[in-house]
Amino acid sequence: METIISIKPLLAILVSLLVVPILVLSGKRPNVREACTFLAAGVKFLIILSMVPVILNGTQIVYTIAEVIPGVAIKLRVDAFGMLFALVSSSLWIVTSAYSIGYMRGLKEHSQTRYFCFFALALSATIGVAFSANLLTLYLFYEMLSFATYPLVTHHQDHEARSSGRKYLLYIVGTSIGFVLPAMLISYSLAGTLDFSSQGFLAGTGSKPLIGLLCFMFLFGFAKAAIMPFHSWLPAAMVAPTPVSALLHAVAVVKVGVFCVARVLTGVFGTDLLFSLNLNVPIIYIASFTIMAGSLIALSQDNLKRLLAFSTIAQLSYIVLGIALLSPKGMTGGMLHIAMHAFGKITLFFCAGAIFVATGKKNISEMIGIGRRMPVTMAAFFIGSLSIIGMPPCGGFISKWYLVLGTLEAHQMPILFVLLTSSLLNAAYFMPFVYKAFFCRPEDSMFENKVQEAPAFCVVPLVITATISVILLFYPQPFLRLARMMVQSITGV
Amino acid sequence: MNEQYPALLVVVPLLSALVVSIAGWVNKRWGFPIAVAALGVAAWSSVGLLFRVMNEGVIVYKLGGWSPPMGIAYYIDYLNGLVLPVVSIAALLNLVASKKSIEQQFPDKAGPFYTLYLLMVTGLLGIVVTGDAFNLYVLLEIAALTGYGLLAMGEERAPLATLNYLYMGTIGACFYLLGVGYLYIVTGSLNMVDIARLLPPLYESKAVLAAFVICMVGVWLKMAFFPLHAWLPNAYTYANSAASSLIAPLVTKVMVYVMIRLILTVFTPEFVFTTLAVSNAVVWLAVIAIVMGAVLALAERNLKKMLTYIVVAEVGYMVGGAWLGNRDGMTGAILHIVNDALMTLCVFMVVGNIVYKVKGYAFEDLKGLFRKMPFTMGALVIGAMSIIGVPPTCGFFSKWYLIVGAISAGHYGFMAALIFSSMVSVVLFFRVFEICFYEPFADHHGHDNHSEGMDEAPVSMVVPLLVVAAILILVGFYTGDIVNHVIQFAIPEAMV
């Protein structure tokens, strides 16, 4: 694999870190402050975009920040998988910044400067995770993200925020210190290195039970992936303002979790080792359980954001499942689902937030007839939910298609059944809501029959993400190509 | 000039202590600049010494030109070459930061305070720089006696707590002296290198064993190694901020240095880890120290006292690491002397700022501090991250070496204790952050409260604190260089 040394990945991380002092200084002038956020988001996206052609040529970009421990450096490496994730999160940051303005100003939230600062910090950490070349760097940015998100989750600073914040820390930080840190150090003691490689570095180092133990320590240690039973922080984190839930708890933070799991499974253990020890089978079943349970719990939710949270829990395990299938199509589907789910789910969260800004309603049972009042928002919601269900004309169809092919390729028929059932369940919790929003009898409608949308800053972003969700079906590049490249470098197919 | 660094290091603070006390009669305001200048010279010399050691290797400085073993020799190698800058720079930064709080607490006694402060630093630097086992005792007592004086200047309960410390500290120092006496009886020498040369034939001797055990117990008492820690929390809590933020970071760490010096240079690792073969048991003691320190910290409802128990737990880190008996563990212990000194300094300076503004350090006094003192709290967050062990702060990397050492020694109890202590630290600090962040609670969604604006400590207190916080991150990034260029050479090659 050809590599070139370039400072660009570091710059992509630093842009949003260095903008924080500027945001603080311009705190008294919100328009300047938000302009800076947009500038940083735009520059970050452009830097990442400028690396795409190089990556598509099959070259990797590396940059070493500091050699902190013999054999282990704080080091960045941009490969196809990292690029896929970085593209998704940095492009959505721009959209979310616009949405944040509409949402935060619409609700006259306090401490907006703090909010924008930690948002920028969280994005730095997210891109850092995407570009990590080894486990130490990954852990560094993973923890940075955990702590940068805490003030966002607890933004309201009330009793509910405090108890959710506690849960958040307990699950996220507790597992990362309790499981990932020792697992990482044991791996280092076994192999003497932590650099991700296409077939892992643990093969032939430890005994079978130890490798198995490490595998599960990593799997559950990255609790941001919300694999059951370490999932319940995610519904709790829904106390955050909606843009936080949208970008962080549907895209950046949770996808960092599954990204880490995928990275570790492929780059630390390697597909051959997992396959030879049969470790992928229990992971497949844990993920399948999470998919079914998450979808079933989502059915019973009335609070729209909590419903979306449980839906996210289920969808995240699709990604883990795809990787654990270890078949080329399945892994492609898993990686692709990071992008497809991101655009679909962020649309849904944007809609939930827009409804809250416009009407103050949080529960589905209070939203009958909302389609007449907010037709654009609910149309976008419909598209987003189609994408999550995995139906055309939305991008979610492609990743589910690949996942289904993957189960056939891996000869896992029961899992095929799980995927199909889960799609039905997704339809079962989204469609009644959408139906009632548009097609209720006029006397049942809880809203006046008059179009009144949320502020433009809220509506335009959700229209954009919904449109992208549709476009992704017809033009899934560069995401599909990046996922295929990564899978090819792992499996050779 | 740079030939004289070892002497300057000790003599300048010592003499300026005298000058400060005399100058105090003429003009009270002269004390501070003289003290800063003296510690500036000491810091400069110590950094110069570190670079000289890195270029030229071990430096032996004969005090007054008298050759060892008759004369006193200062002996600077990679080990104390690394510790010296930490001590002197920490003392200097804390002195600058403490000016306002000293003026606030002791408007009339600033002069004597600076005198004691300088003598204390003299003692600590002397302990680190000396190559003579008896001279070390003398300097130990200088540091201890001035320390009692400094700590006793505090709240109502400070004198009593200090008296307790005085008893325990004196016993500890006596133990050490007794051990040195045994060594002198069997070897006829007080010079550390000389003793190390004469000891190997005597390794089986009961007297040498007695000397080692007694020395260790004495040093453990002075560093508050659990269960010999009882004097520490009260003595450090009730003292004034300037003294506690000098003594809490430095004294225990300097005593850990003395322990490592005894193990590596005087008794040699072969004797300690091969002949004695008790290291496993000592590491278990360290495990207990870490766990108990963490649990006792959990029980506190008062920031400063909570931090003192964290100091007790951290001592367990270093003792355990040093006694793992392998290279990684020892590297971790030495690195943690540097890192823990810096992060303890950081958090105690934060307490100093809070006390200066809020006049209290109980949990109830901390409400709304994120809004009132954002810079101070920012430093506390960085210090807390380092104590928890979050990369890239330095605390993560010493923990890394300690855990890797524990794994290669097969001591999973120690590894579990370190992980446990990290998790407890998360609870400890986020409990504090919660109070500073949420309380006082608002009626609805935090819109109404937090109307009060910023009320930060003076610039002269905040800037040194932020410097320390920045150093925590910088040292983290330079861990590789510190280990490769310094600590690696501080550990005998025989240790693997």
The domain spans of chain A are: 2-491
C-alpha to C-alpha distance for A307 and A436, rounded to whole angstroms: 16
**A69, A110, A157 ranked by CB distance to B480: nearest:** A69
B356 touching chain A per CB within 8 A: no
**Closest Cα to residue A280, out of A217, A220, A323, A226?**
A323
- B363 inside domain: yes
Classify residue A457 as exposed, middle or buried by CB count within 10 Å of its CB (0-12, 13-18, 19+).
buried
C-alpha to C-alpha distance for B160 and B166, rounded to whole angstroms: 10
Residue A52 to residues A42, A333, A363, A478, B411, Cα–Cα distance (Å)? 15, 20, 41, 9, 47
Could you tell me the two tokens for B295? 């649990």
CB contact under 8 A, A185 and B390: no
Residues of B in contact with A185 (CB under 8 A): 400, 403-404, 407, 415
Considering Cα of B197, then B199, then B200, then B202, what sign does the dihedral take? positive
CB contact under 8 A, B423 and A177: yes
- Predicted local confidence at residue B446, as pLDDT: 47
- Domain extent, residue B401, equals 278-496
DSSP run (H or E) holding B382: helix B374-388
First to last CA, chain A: 16
Domain count, chain B: 1
For A140, nearest residue in chain B (alpha carbons) = B391
C-alpha to C-alpha distance for B176 and A440, rounded to whole angstroms: 87
**B392, B419, B438 ranked by CB distance to A157: nearest:** B438
Please give the DSSP secondary-structure letter assigned to residue B168: H
- B67 inside domain: no
Residues of A in contact with B389 (CB under 8 A): 177, 181
Name the pLDDT band for A30 (thresholds 50, 70, 90).
confident
- B56 inside domain: no
For B444, nearest residue in chain A (alpha carbons) = A158
B412 touching chain A per CB within 8 A: no
How far is CA A90 from its chain centroid? Answer: 12
Q: Kindly report the nearest CA distance between residue B55 and chain A, in angstroms.
A: 22
CB contact under 8 A, A74 and B423: no
Please give the DSSP secondary-structure letter assigned to residue B132: B
Considering Cα of B388, then B389, then B391, then B392, what sign does the dihedral take? positive
CB contact under 8 A, A66 and B477: yes
C-alpha to C-alpha distance for B46 and B56, rounded to whole angstroms: 15
Mean pLDDT, chain A, rounded, equals: 89
Could you tell me the two tokens for A191? 């192999």
- B236 inside domain: no
C-alpha to C-alpha distance for A36 and A20, rounded to whole angstroms: 9
CB contact under 8 A, B438 and A162: yes
- Predicted local confidence at residue B441, as pLDDT: 66
C-alpha to C-alpha distance for A354 and A243, rounded to whole angstroms: 10
B407 touching chain A per CB within 8 A: yes
Residues of B in contact with A144 (CB under 8 A): 390
Task: Note whether B232 and B311 are within 8 A (CB).
Answer: yes
B391 touching chain A per CB within 8 A: yes
- Predicted local confidence at residue A100, as pLDDT: 87
- B125 inside domain: no
Could you tell me the two tokens for B22? 């005399």
CB contact under 8 A, A186 and B407: yes
CB contact under 8 A, B477 and A173: no
Cα Rg of chain A (Å, integer): 21
For A241, nearest residue in chain B (alpha carbons) = B445
- B448 inside domain: yes
C-alpha to C-alpha distance for B52 and B49, rounded to whole angstroms: 5
Q: Kindly report the nearest CA distance between residue B448 and chain A, in angstroms.
A: 9
- Predicted local confidence at residue B448, as pLDDT: 46
**B392, B400, B445 ranked by CB distance to A74: nearest:** B392
- Predicted local confidence at residue B447, as pLDDT: 47
- Predicted local confidence at residue B246, as pLDDT: 93
Q: Kindly report the nearest CA distance between residue A249 and chain B, in angstroms.
A: 21
SS3 content of chain B, % helix, strand, coil (to 5): 80, 5, 20
Task: Note whether B6 and B129 are within 8 A (CB).
Answer: yes
- B269 inside domain: no
**A159, A178, A185 ranked by CB distance to B423: nearest:** A178
B400 touching chain A per CB within 8 A: yes
Q: Kindly report the nearest CA distance between residue A177 and chain B, in angstroms.
A: 7
pLDDT at A446 over 80: no
First to last CA, chain B: 38
C-alpha to C-alpha distance for A71 and B483, rounded to whole angstroms: 13
B387 touching chain A per CB within 8 A: no
DSSP run (H or E) holding B340: helix B327-358
ipTM strictly over 0.85? Answer: yes
C-alpha to C-alpha distance for A315 and A320, rounded to whole angstroms: 9
For A114, nearest residue in chain B (alpha carbons) = B371
Could you tell me the two tokens for A69? 């421990």
- B392 inside domain: yes
Residue B363 to residues A350, B283, B366, B433, Cα–Cα distance (Å)? 39, 33, 5, 10
How far is CA B18 from its chain centroid? Answer: 25
- Give mean pLDDT, residues A349-357: 88
Q: What is the mean pLDDT of each run of 10 residues along chain B (496 residues)?
A: 80 89 82 90 92 88 78 88 93 92 84 90 93 91 92 87 91 93 90 88 87 92 90 90 92 94 89 83 93 93 93 94 92 94 95 90 87 90 94 92 93 93 93 86 51 79 93 92 90 84
Q: Kindly report the nearest CA distance between residue A186 and chain B, in angstroms.
A: 7
- Give mean pLDDT, residues A401-411: 90
Could you tell me the two tokens for A347? 């649309």
